[in-house]
Amino acid sequence: MRRQARFSIGGVVMALVAVLVTGGTAQAATWSSSDKWGTWSNGGYTVRNNVWGGGAGPQSIWANSYSDFGVWADHPNTGGVKSYPHSAKNVGRQLSGLRSLSSSFNVSRPGGGAYATAYDIWANNNAYEIMLWMNKQGAVGAIGSKETTVSVGGHTWDVYRGSNGANAVFSFLRTSDTNAGSVDVLAVLNWIKNRGWYGDVTVGEVQFGFEITSSSGGMNFSANSYSVSAS
């Protein structure tokens, strides 16, 4: 249900000069939210706070645009993913109908805690989940068992295959961490198809963000840039 927008001078001012205090540092942002399901649409993308895991602590998200966003999170040092703050672009096209699908990113991240900086790509109405881990920190691991190591899409990955009980999960863990780069997403998706793990699927959202397990004491995660290009 869409809520009807109402004009408010105070609301406009707050939206334009929203200030989020993260770890003692004040950062001006166009949009911010501490709601665990906080969502903002910008430039054809959707930015989400997405605090979905059990036992989560406080988390606040901020964004100046779909490509410039970040969070301050204080999740306890316990097992299990607490959140996946991210920006998402819906592709909504069949794999065989895509000529190209690529993405670029640049992040700043903490040296402590437990998390992965990752793409989460969905296909066939969320029947398939493809994760591309660009870096990881602390005690985190992929679902399923390791199948192989492959160079595809501009990177070398350890590939895991499994299920979370709701959907199939294919996880590509980069063999060395990086905080910036580009990915030929289409090449990765076609590699999976060529293995026979799925057919000519419809690609849904391409999400990018931080899958956080723990960040005790409060830590800052920032996506300095992120974009998706499809044709």
**Which tens digits make up the pLDDT trace of 158-186?**
999 999 999 999 999 999 999 999 999 99
Average pLDDT over residues 95-104: 98
Beta-strand (E) ranges in 25-100?
25-29, 31-33, 39-42, 45-48, 59-65, 68-73, 86-94
- Give the contacts of 100 (CB within 8 A, at least 6 positions apart): 186, 229, 230, 231
pLDDT of residue 88: 98
Percent of the chain predicted with pLDDT > 70: 88
β-pair type (101-108, 219-230): antiparallel
Task: Give the pLDDT confidence of 130-154 residue by residue, as tens digits.
Answer: 999 999 999 999 999 999 999 999 9
pLDDT of residue 8: 35
CA atoms of 88 and 90, how far apart (whole Å): 7
CA atoms of 185 and 152, how far apart (whole Å): 9
Query: Which tops the pLDDT comparison, 74 or 5?
Result: 74
Secondary structure letter of residue 127 according to DSSP: T
Compute how many other C-beta atoms are within 10 angstroms of the C-beta atom of residue 92. Answer: 10
CA atoms of 50 and 28, how far apart (whole Å): 21
Secondary structure letter of residue 139 according to DSSP: S
State pTM to two decimals. 0.88
Phi-psi region of 181 (alpha: psi -120 to 50; beta: other; left: phi over 0): left
Determine phi and psi for 3, rounding to 5 degrees: -85, 140
Partnered with residue 220 across adjacent β-strands are 72
pLDDT of residue 28: 79
Counting beta carbons within 10 angstroms of the beta carbon of residue 217, is it exposed (0 to 12), middle (13 to 18) or buried (19 or more)? middle
Tell me how far the alpha carbon of residue 48 is from its chain's centroid: 9
Task: Give the pLDDT confidence of 184-221 residue by residue, as tens digits.
Answer: 999 999 999 999 999 999 999 999 999 999 999 999 99
**What pLDDT band is residue 27 in, cutting at 50, 70 and 90?**
low
Residues 155 and 195 sit within 8 Å (Cβ to Cβ): no
What would the two tokens of residue 136 be?
Answer: 């990881």
Q: For the chain, what is the mean pLDDT? A: 90
Percent of the chain predicted with pLDDT > 90: 88
